[in-house]
């Protein structure tokens, strides 16, 4: 992995899209380089914090550009509001339904979202049902998915930073407002997972999946 004392815009332009690089203690990233690194989806971590023995695809993407979202009939209105918000931010959103009041089974929707994320069609997934619990359980049956039901911004941050959640489950009947849901989503999408000690634990989760 490349290590830098200073990262300039010229350096940033030469890095591979989606790469991870190390910055030494006291190192500097120039203002123009920050914009270029963000555009190229490059992750900068403190030197010594990266463990090269860990698979590169364990942690969820830090820079989310594509979101897959779905809900059962109880979450249609909330889903519609979140889709509009995410698209207003310039994110690509894949909406897998449902769109009406006719009852649908939450495991089907959760599976569609989870499989899309597992296939890397989306950098992250959001699934909504009445309480958010059932969808999280169903999504977690898909290999490679770590779904977390979050009711506030604190659990959203922890689910990403500590647990590497790649699917967020929301309860349309539990979240107090659309605005509260948007705040949860913003914190969740904006929290990266970068510490090797946390990522190492994801490897143990992957091994549990492989044992089944």
Query: What is the tens place of the pLDDT at every residue in 69-79?
Result: 999 999 999 99
Statement to judge: residues 39 and 74 lie in one domain: no
Q: Give the pair of three-digit tokens for residue 87.
A: 């698209």
162 is catalytic: yes
Q: What is the 3-state secondary structure (H, E, C) of 46-87?
A: ECCCCCCCCCCCCCCCCCCCEEEEEECHHHHHHHHHHHHHHH
Q: Domain tally for the chain?
A: 2
Q: Is residue 153 part of a domain?
A: yes
The mean per-residue pLDDT over the stretch 82-92 comes to 97
Parent domain of 34 = 1-49
d(CA 36, CA 47): 20
d(CA 123, CA 117): 6
Q: Which of 80, 162, 194, 206 is catalytic?
A: 162
Statement to judge: residues 5 and 93 lie in one domain: no
Phi and psi for 106 in degrees, rounded to 5? -60, -30
Statement to judge: residues 145 and 97 lie in one domain: yes
Instruction: Judge if pTM exceeds 0.85.
Output: no
Asked if 199 and 193 count as a contact pair (C-beta separation under 8 A), the reply is: yes
Statement to judge: residues 70 and 158 lie in one domain: yes
| pLDDT tens-place string over residues 10-43 | 999 999 887 778 899 899 999 999 999 988 878 7
């Amino acid at each position: 992995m490349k290590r830098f004392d200073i990262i300039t815009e010229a350096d940033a332009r030469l890095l591979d899209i989606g790469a991870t690089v190390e910055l030494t203690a006291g190192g500097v990233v120039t203002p123009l380089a920050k914009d270029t690194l963000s555009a190229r989806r490059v992750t900068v971590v403190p030197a010594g914090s990266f463990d090269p023995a860990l698979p590169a695809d364990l942690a969820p993407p830090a820079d989310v550009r594509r979101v897959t979202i779905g809900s059962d009939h109880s979450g249609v209105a909330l889903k519609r509001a979140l889709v509009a918000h995410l698209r207003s931010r310039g994110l690509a959103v894949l909406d897998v339904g449902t769109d009406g009041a006719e009852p649908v089974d939450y495991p089907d929707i959760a599976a569609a979202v989870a499989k899309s994320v597992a296939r890397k069609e989306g950098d992250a997934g959001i699934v909504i049902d009445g309480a958010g619990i059932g969808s999280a359980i169903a999504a977690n049956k898909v290999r490679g998915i770590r779904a977390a039901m979050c009711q506030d911004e604190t659990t959203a941050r922890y689910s990403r930073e500590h647990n590497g959640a790649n699917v967020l489950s929301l309860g349309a009947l539990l979240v107090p407002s659309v605005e509260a849901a948007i705040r949860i989503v913003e914190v969740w999408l904006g929290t990266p997972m970068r510490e090797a000690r946390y990522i190492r634990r994801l490897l143990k989760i992957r091994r549990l999946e492989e044992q089944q």
